[in-house]
Amino acid sequence: MKVVKFGGSSLCSAEQIKKVADIIKSDAERRIAVVSAPGKRSANDTKVTDMLIALHVNHTTGLDTKDAISRIIDRYQSIINGLEIDAGLLDQFEQTLIHHLDTIKSRDRLLDALKSCGEDFNAQLISAYLNQIGVRAAYMSPKEAGILVTDEPSNAQLIESSYDKLNHLKESEHVLIIPGFYGASENDDIVTFPRGGSDITGAIVARGVEADLYENFTDVSFIYSAHPGLIEEPHAIREITYREMRELSYAGFGVFHDEALAPVFKKEIPVMIRNTNDPGIEGTKIVAEREFIPEMPVIGISCDEGFTSITMNKYLMNREIGFTRRLLQILEDHRLSYEHVPSGIDNLSVILRTRQFDGNSKLEDVIADINDKLEPDAVYVEDDLALVVIVGEGMKEHVGIATKTTTALSENDVNIRMINQGASEISMMFAVDIKDAHKALRAIYSNYFSEIKG
Amino acid sequence: MKVVKFGGSSLCSAEQIKKVADIIKSDAERRIAVVSAPGKRSANDTKVTDMLIALHVNHTTGLDTKDAISRIIDRYQSIINGLEIDAGLLDQFEQTLIHHLDTIKSRDRLLDALKSCGEDFNAQLISAYLNQIGVRAAYMSPKEAGILVTDEPSNAQLIESSYDKLNHLKESEHVLIIPGFYGASENDDIVTFPRGGSDITGAIVARGVEADLYENFTDVSFIYSAHPGLIEEPHAIREITYREMRELSYAGFGVFHDEALAPVFKKEIPVMIRNTNDPGIEGTKIVAEREFIPEMPVIGISCDEGFTSITMNKYLMNREIGFTRRLLQILEDHRLSYEHVPSGIDNLSVILRTRQFDGNSKLEDVIADINDKLEPDAVYVEDDLALVVIVGEGMKEHVGIATKTTTALSENDVNIRMINQGASEISMMFAVDIKDAHKALRAIYSNYFSEIKG
């Protein structure tokens, strides 16, 4: 069986939902659908989820909530009218919103409950429409389904036992329509996931029922070898491993949230990216092991900006037991996470996301701690670094990847600030100045992919 | 003023000691000489220090010590005869050895006391010879000089206050001859340094008296850009920074022990390598900052074998706060030191010296700990790795170093297993299979140095 997930853009209007219904109807293997809230219909449209957040703001700040509520209901009305299904649902929806506002006193829990309505209402009306067109479908809440989560508002973590509960969904005679993005806590509160939204629900359900395939329908057909905004017509990836997806998780590969892969990764359930607007195309397939080895050792190149490096020199550093460990402890104490730790004999660098210093952890405090606890001979900081990462499971079999890449960079006069290649040889990281980032990406890309475009 | 140090090969015979005396006499700036024990006169000769260790073994295992003692005295006799100085010293030497054997009950302390005699006796007779040829010289023991050390046998660490004590040596009207390799503990025991021998004593004295130059006389004139055993007529280095020396501290750069640089590094006292057998040549100078920027960005290439990498994969590893720090803690718990920690997003490698696993820390225990405490998806180990390190302060100013290097490797069909370049950009590390190590070194070397040989 297949678990299918549809994103907000696939469910933003009656017209889109009809496409979705056809997709479900067209394949008897598609037994469970996880749905998002209605997304934007156009660039300056408002997502239903954002309307619900606005409702929460108005309510908690004592403003009138009528308009906010009716705007939400209007949006669903236009969908329901377009689908020509029972308008009685609209009253239920409105009562649900009002009930939440009246009964939930905790600000945070109210926000989760309101946000969940976007997916929940959509699941109900999609189920109704499917039945109307002759598909035996049934709406099922995350609670009924068995998606049990921890109860920190907006930061739900799945409780492992949910997978067993979910397993019984296999037996259902109905096509189940489950709202994404949230679960039920033990004392029955609605709690939303921190990231990944419906992607994560889809992955959890796919794993629970041990699906043969998790189809993730969105508005693109493929994951591309590089950011389409930076590379014109980048190469479309047909097959990519979970690990490659992760290595590419920097900018340009946000097709879906990499944390959403964790549940299916564990059980090696393949994921297929599909385009609701072009369902005939088999999109990018994410797998544990490739079926075929591509002619290209490199599958993708990502490029992300906004990194800072802290470098320290200390004579005889590498004779000093625990130097690196103590440095990393300092970063942890400041709640900083780091990307790479390139080193020489007596020097060490850490690469971190610069934005982390906007918050509570001040760079100068970190430097002070480093000077104080590690007594280096020198510490220096470089901002405005970009990381270009080239990824491919095939790289380890190929001699000369580094050459091909570094040649591309030096020919384009890009100075490589740092290089990092781990033993897994699935990726190679190059730190460059931010001003060189796009030039670097284009240079490397054309070096690898130009030939195979034709 | 200059502090000069002479190694064992420079002091192995009367003939050599005459050269050393001429060197001291020829430059009025050479006010303090630190001397080693007589070294080998030929390939299968025995160092005096080894003779002293043999004496210790015989004594502590209850064997007759006469032969061992007379062999040592004979060796000094041949030197004394050659120098035509007062043979009365020989009795003193013999009495000293016997006195140590009779009075020192601690096995470890006896070993240190006996070992120290090699340098101590040499210093006495060299001082005598210098006076005979008209140099106002005086023997001075490390204790008189003020070299105060911690008292763990064979593991002396200098006590910082020694530097102030040493400072007064500047005022001496005599050329001072100080035996290297040991110091005096607070309760007056003789304790030897763990590593570096006379090099470290020379550096300590040079710093104490704030010398203008520390001349280190040995049997070579230069530090070379690569191991002469691997590269025919390697390029001779005229000037190298302390940091470059450290980065090159892998195989092939053992001219003198890099820990011996620490004392002079702190005060930026330049060190000059000089050849006792060719004192006219100004050898390699080790400095804090280069006077001239060489045409070559790369100053040296080292290559060392016997490294093991432990690589682990774990999905979402880089979201796991403290993963690397906990790994390094495990290594520390097993008393393992590591060279590099290259990483990907979800994989991490540590490179360690394989020989560390010969001792108490068993590789399988480390792996078990890693699996137990870090729960990676996979761990794998690779032995037989070699590290090729290219070093040069000038590298950061040059685009294309990585290219030049990786090209050399790929053209020679060397597969690069790992790459590591820290932000200091003073060195770049390439891990390769041991079988490719020498090929890799030669390829890189000729790529950089062939042009400038002519």
Say if the Cβ atoms of A325 and B328 lie within 8 Å. yes
pLDDT, tens digit, for every residue of A10-27? 999 999 999 999 999 999
* Owner of token pair 């240190």: B112
pLDDT, tens digit, for every residue of A228-245? 888 888 999 999 998 888
Phi, psi of B334 (to 5 degrees): -90, 10
Using the Cβ of A345 and the Cβ atoms of chain B, whether some distance falls under 8 Å is answered with: yes
> Chains A, B: CB contacts under 8 A, how many?
197
Better pLDDT: B153 or B418: B153
Using the Cβ of A337 and the Cβ atoms of chain B, whether some distance falls under 8 Å is answered with: yes
Give the pLDDT score at A451. 59
How deeply is A174 buried, as exposed, middle or buried, from its count of CB atoms within 10 A (0-12, 13-18, 19+)?
middle
Centroid of chain to Cα B199 = 7
Say if the Cβ atoms of B311 and A424 lie within 8 Å. yes
Out of A315, A337, A414, closest to residue B246 by CB: A315
Per-residue DSSP letter, B148? B
> Binning pLDDT at 50, 70 and 90, where does residue B257 land?
confident
Give the pLDDT score at A453. 43
> Binning pLDDT at 50, 70 and 90, where does residue B252 land?
low
Start-to-end Cα distance in chain A? 37
The average confidence (pLDDT) of chain A is: 91
Q: Which residue of A has its CA nearest to B413?
A: A399
Among A376, A346, A316, A322, smallest CA distance to B262 is for A316
pLDDT, tens digit, for every residue of B327-336? 999 999 998 8
Structure tokens at A300: 């993708």
Per-residue DSSP letter, A435? G
Of A73-77, B318-322, B325-329, minimum mean pLDDT range? B318-322
* 3-class SS shares of chain A: helix, strand, coil, % to 5: 45, 20, 35
Q: Which of A222-236, B108-122, B299-313 has the highest mean pLDDT?
A: B108-122
Give the pLDDT score at A251. 62
Of A308-322, B244-258, B263-277, B306-320, minimum mean pLDDT range? B244-258
pLDDT, tens digit, for every residue of A87-143? 899 999 999 999 999 999 999 999 999 999 999 999 999 999 999 999 999 999 999
Domains and CATH numbers, chain A: 2-219 (3.40.1160.10), 300-449 (3.30.2130.10)
pLDDT, tens digit, for every residue of B343-361? 888 888 999 999 888 766 6
Say if the Cβ atoms of A347 and B422 lie within 8 Å. yes
Check whether A358 has a pLDDT greater than 50: yes
> Binning pLDDT at 50, 70 and 90, where does residue A420 land?
confident
Check whether B205 has a pLDDT greater than 80: yes
Test the B interface: residue of A195, A419, A429, A436 with most B CBs within 10 Å? A419
The average pLDDT across B397-424 equals 83
> Binning pLDDT at 50, 70 and 90, where does residue A454 land?
very low
| Positive/negative CA dihedral, A73, A79, A80, A82 | positive
Phi, psi of B142 (to 5 degrees): -55, -35
Q: How far apart are CA A313 and CA B393, in angstroms?
A: 13
The average pLDDT across A73-99 equals 96
Using the Cβ of A289 and the Cβ atoms of chain B, whether some distance falls under 8 Å is answered with: no
pLDDT, tens digit, for every residue of B117-142? 999 999 999 999 999 999 999 999 99
Contact residues for A268 (Cβ-Cβ < 8 A; gap 6+):
A287, A288
Q: How far apart are CA B254 and CA B27, in angstroms?
A: 28
Centroid of chain to Cα B69 = 29
Check whether B433 has a pLDDT greater than 70: yes
The average confidence (pLDDT) of chain B is: 91
Using the Cβ of B313 and the Cβ atoms of chain A, whether some distance falls under 8 Å is answered with: yes
